[in-house]
Amino acid sequence: MKIVLACLISLCHYSYALPIKTLYFSTHKTLKVEIAQNDKDRAQGLMFREKLPEGQGMLFVFSQPQRMSFWMKNTFIPLTIGFFDAKKKLIETIDMKPAQGPIKDENLPHYESSQPAVYALEVPQGWFVKNHIKPGTTFSLK
């Protein structure tokens, strides 16, 4: 009974697959990403995932430039987020820590872009540094 319940809960979190595309960086690195391009997908993000394989990430796509704010609610993986402008140029990266223990929503840290962005890319923590992706690096999406 417990296994069936766990499977049903799991299905609720992953009821459908997001589109997967490849990011091609100006540094010649590539990354497979799930595309979160509507409010529902962006709100779900990487919540309830227990791992994010190296070489994979999630790209959050917005319709217009805006200051962005992300949190790690129900996210169990240490991540780095990169904020990109409308020209797909990296503005900055921020390391994000999973919440430890039960925390009220209003007490969760927020990770905010310093400038308006159109794209936010979440990857395993340290991926940007490991792959020499620095501010000013651009990407194309295929």
Look at strands 56-66 and 30-36 and give their pairing.
parallel
- In whole angstroms, what is the distance from residue 33 CA to residue 64 CA? 20
Q: What is the pLDDT of residues 89-134, one digit of tens each?
A: 999 999 999 877 676 777 788 899 999 999 999 999 999 999 999 9
Give me the pLDDT at residue 2, please. 39
Burial of 57 (0-12, 13-18, 19+ CB in 10 A): buried
Supply the pLDDT for residue 3: 40
pLDDT in tens, 4-63: 333 333 334 444 588 999 999 999 999 999 999 988 888 888 878 889 888 999 999 999
Residue that is written with structure tokens 């227990």 in the block: 50
Q: Write down the pTM of the prediction.
A: 0.84
Query: Domains, the chain, ranges and CATH?
Result: 17-141 (2.60.120.1140)
* Amino acid residing at 76: F
Per DSSP, the three-state class of 84 is strand
